[in-house]
Chain A
Amino acid sequence: MASVNLQYVIKETSTNLKRNFFITMAAVLVVVVSMYLVGAVFVASFAVDRALTLQTKKVEVAVFLKRDITPEARDAIQRDLVAMPEVASVSYESKQEAYETFKRLFRDEPDIVENTTADALPESFRVKLKDPNQFAVVRDRLDGRPGIDQIQDERKFLSRLLAVVRDIRLLGIALVFLLIIAAAVLIATTIRMAIFARRREIAIMKLVGATNWFIRIPFMLEGVIQGMAGALIAMGLLVASRPLYTNLLKSFKFLNLTVTYSEILVNSARVLVFGILIGAIGSLLGLRRFLDV
Chain B
Amino acid sequence: MTPNKHALARASIPKRSVLTASADFATQVLAVADAEVRKLRHDPWELVSRAVQPILWLVLFGGVMTRVRGLAPGGTPYLEFLAPGILAQSVLFVAIFYGISAIWERDLGVLHRYLVSPAPRVALVIGKALSSSIRGLSQAVVIYLCAAAMGVRVSVDPVSLLVTVLLIVLGSGLFSTFSLIIACIVKTRERFMGIGQVLTMPIFFASNAIYPIDLMPPWLQRISSLNPLTYEVDGLRAVMLRGGQSAFGLVHDLAALLIAAGIVIVIAARMYPRMTE
Same complex = no
Which positions in B face A, CB cutoff 8 Å?
Answer: none
Which positions in A face B, CB cutoff 8 Å?
Answer: none
